[in-house]
Structure 1
Amino acid sequence: MIASPGGGGNYLAVRPDWLARGVEAALEPELPIIDAHHHLWDRQGWRYLFDEYLADITGSGHNVMASVFMQCQAMYRADGPAAMRVVGETEFVNGIAAMSASGNYGPRQLCAGIVGHADLRLGDDVTPVLEAHIAAAPDRFRGVRHISVWDADRSLMNPLSAGPPGLLRDAEFRAGFARLAPLGLVFDAWLFHPQIPELTELARAFPHTTVVLDHLGGIVGIGAYKDRRDDIFIEWTRAIRELARCENVCVKLGGLGMRINGFGFETRDAPPASEVLAEAWRPYIEACIEAFGAQRCMFESNFPVDKGSYGYGSVWNAFKRLTRHASESDRANLFSGTAARVYGLARPG
């Protein structure tokens, strides 16, 4: 398995020469976009900061007007109370957002929304951590992601973020989770598809907390799940439809270029064209839009994680192809409106 430096075997390698073979012109370059999920980091051998992200956007030709940064253990404080060190990430990203907001790099409002991490297992004691995040970025901090990924097949998990089994049912976790809504914070959920029913239970128990399911629910297609795509699609669809009955839940459409998805895009001689991506993703994207409605779905790049499988321009072209026949209002929600509403951002235009 090809892996990017600094990521162990958990990320596919980003190969600029390979990506250069699949550059596409942007379809509908005027369509306003909020990228609902991306990361920034500086890891050993793998730098993806403001300049790299901005270069992907400008080089793609797509009209990305704003973005939501998602926690990724970047720039934690080196000292101070352990529970508070995570606030360093928000401080770092808020500075990046201020750079973008200056107008010196164009009209985009990158990192206009920030989702950080707090250990919700602290229960009521997580409140000072949440308040510190808000104080660090009062105009931009929007929510928390506490990763709950777990599977009996340990080869699937990133050791940096693997959660214990049953985390979403843990009493202390739920006590911390209860502190989000009073502070107006969203919860982003990253898990594998067999865990979706656990998230449904959590969403039902806290109907006043906005929950965002990342990456269509973590569809796994490798390891113990290899060669089971048809059966998994049936299981996943059933779980997605049940989750969609919780009106406080939204879903991010994207994140299908990860190692765990098993589509094998990275094995091709050249990056897959947007037509190929759209065809591979159509059943999943359409199932989510049908279940949740466009007003509770939002597109995401998941860069730079997905950059090992395709270029930034191609992923947005694929989303545009997939929604070519959707109504104007549905497309506005999918590409910007839902993200703006959920994360409290200014809607483009």
Structure 2
Amino acid sequence: MNRALTPPESVLEPGLPIIDPHHHLWDRPGARGADLPPPSHPFEAVIRLSPRYLFDELLADMTSGHKVVATVYMECGAMYCRGAAPAFRPVGETEFVNGVAAMSASGIYGDVRACAAIVGHVDLTLGAAAREVLEAHMSASARFRGIRHAAASDPDSAVLGPLAGRPAGLYRDARFREGFAQLAPLGLSFDAWLLEPQLDDLIDLARAFPDTQIILDHVGTPLGLGDYVGRRDERFGVWRKKIQALAALPNVACKVGGLAMAFPAFPSFLSDPPASSEQLAREWRPHVESCIEAFGTDRCMFESNFPVDLGSCDYRTLWNAFKRLAAGASATEKTDLFSGTAQRIYRVDLT
């Protein structure tokens, strides 16, 4: 797939402000080179599309046509501090991203605020000892807003490929919940990444901690790989009922995106030529509209999930797809979806 040969789409609604609430930064030299073996999983193929995604690449996407005014950084295991004690190594990621945010806030690169809020990682199975690590993140950056501790797991290792190996039932684990209990007293939020068959675990967690702001990533990750090949549509009704159950809990918000990843396995993934925004909107519409109907626009936010979603489209095309999906929304609803919800939940400072 050669995106360089694909003419860029014209930007829809270029004046609509966007806060991108979910992207990563990384440098993976091991994913570069012409002599690499064929990827063993579709996710590996995506990493090879963008083995380096740092401030230069992010800035190029932010200024590629849409009015992206700020972003929220999401942890991805980047730039951990090798010399720190194991529990504190993720603090290095917050330190690294805070430096990128300071570069952006300098104004040298224009009137954009990359990484204006930071979501890091803490191993909550540390139990009560997680509080000290959380406080270290907070000391490392005034932009630190919360953590993500992913639970994505499936008995079939072919579903997650290189990301397989997490224990099942993490969000129900007693030690994890002892660590989770440290978030609300510090005013910190929790991003949850898990797969559609695991959504009951998150429903139970959110009910147990009604005072903790929880954000569901990637609409709960519907599946179309491994044991779920050809079953995404069949399981749609199961997924939607769980989304509705989550939406009934006022402490949960939803990131609407991630459908360009490998795991849902839509036809647009790694298609050649790349899918248009019209095709993406058509494929994603049932999941997107179900989430917005369940949560309301004031608890939904469109996300880029870049560079992971590069497997289906470039940054400009992705936001065009979301704008097509929101075409019938009111001005207030569009503000919620594209910036307002993210700004409120992650306390994004645009001054």
Aligned to 1:287: 290
Aligned to 2:74: 70
Q: Distance in 1 between matches of 2:324 and 2:182?
A: 40
User: Which region of structure 1 is more displaced relative to structure 2, 263-272 or 73-82?
Assistant: 263-272
Aligned to 1:304: 307
Secondary structure (helix, strand or coil) at the match of 2:222 reads coil
Aligned to 1:50: 55
Match of 2:139 among 125, 130, 135: 135
Secondary structure (helix, strand or coil) at the match of 1:260 reads coil
Encode CA deviations 1:236-285: one digit per residue, 9 max, x unaligned: 00110011111000000111111111113244321111111111111001
Secondary structure (helix, strand or coil) at the match of 1:230 reads coil
Match of 2:240 among 237, 248, 251: 237
Q: Distance in 1 between matches of 2:162 and 2:316?
A: 30
Q: Distance in 1 between matches of 2:138 and 2:128?
A: 16
Match of 1:342 among 342, 345, 348: 345
Secondary structure (helix, strand or coil) at the match of 1:168 reads helix
User: Which region of structure 1 is more displaced relative to structure 2, 161-170 or 324-333?
Assistant: 161-170
Report the TM-score, using the length of structure 2 for normalisation: 0.92
Task: Could you tell me which runs of 5 or more consecutive residues in structure 2 were left unpaired when the two chains were aligned.
Answer: 33-50
Q: Distance in 2 between matches of 1:159 and 1:172?
A: 26
Contact map agreement 2:150 2:193 (CA 8 A) in 1: yes
Report the TM-score, using the length of structure 1 for normalisation: 0.92
Encode CA deviations 1:310-348: one digit per residue, 9 max, x unaligned: 010011001111111111111100000000010001369
Q: Distance in 1 between matches of 2:167 and 2:305?
A: 24
1:318-333 to structure 2, matched below 5 A, reads 318-333=321-336
Secondary structure (helix, strand or coil) at the match of 1:187 reads strand
Contact map agreement 2:19 2:343 (CA 8 A) in 1: yes
Which AA in structure 2 matches 1:188? D
Contact map agreement 1:19 1:310 (CA 8 A) in 2: no
Contact map agreement 2:260 2:313 (CA 8 A) in 1: yes
1:172 CA drift (Å): 0.2
Which AA in structure 2 matches 1:102? S
Which AA in structure 1 matches 2:225? I
Percent identity for Structure 1 against Structure 2:
56
1:80 CA drift (Å): 2.0
1:98-113 to structure 2, matched below 5 A, reads 98-113=102-117
1:19 CA drift (Å): 5.2
1:145 CA drift (Å): 0.3
Shift in CA distance, 143/19, structure 1 to aligned 2, threshold 3 Å: farther
Secondary structure (helix, strand or coil) at the match of 2:263 reads helix
Aligned residues: 331
1:18 CA drift (Å): 2.5
Shift in CA distance, 267/50, structure 1 to aligned 2, threshold 3 Å: closer
Contact map agreement 1:66 1:111 (CA 8 A) in 2: yes
1:142-161 to structure 2, matched below 5 A, reads 142-160=145-163
Encode CA deviations 1:201-255: one digit per residue, 9 max, x unaligned: 0000000000000000011111111111222111100110011111000000111
Aligned to 1:29: 14
Encode CA deviations 1:4-32: one digit per residue, 9 max, x unaligned: xxxxxxxxxxx5x3354151111010100
Contact map agreement 2:262 2:269 (CA 8 A) in 1: no
Q: Distance in 2 between matches of 1:85 and 1:34?
A: 28
1:117 CA drift (Å): 0.3
Is 1:195–2:187 an aligned residue pair?
no
Task: Could you tell me which runs of 5 or more consecutive residues in structure 1 were left unpaired when the two chains were aligned.
Answer: 1-14
Aligned to 2:3: 18
Secondary structure (helix, strand or coil) at the match of 2:233 reads helix
Shift in CA distance, 86/161, structure 1 to aligned 2, threshold 3 Å: farther
Secondary structure (helix, strand or coil) at the match of 1:207 reads coil
Q: Distance in 1 between matches of 2:236 and 2:5?
A: 32
Secondary structure (helix, strand or coil) at the match of 2:76 reads coil
User: Which region of structure 1 is more displaced relative to structure 2, 238-247 or 222-231?
Assistant: 222-231
Encode CA deviations 1:99-158: one digit per residue, 9 max, x unaligned: 0000000101110010000000000001110000000002x1001000101101111225
Secondary structure (helix, strand or coil) at the match of 1:265 reads coil
Match of 1:251 among 245, 251, 254: 254
Contact map agreement 1:22 1:272 (CA 8 A) in 2: no
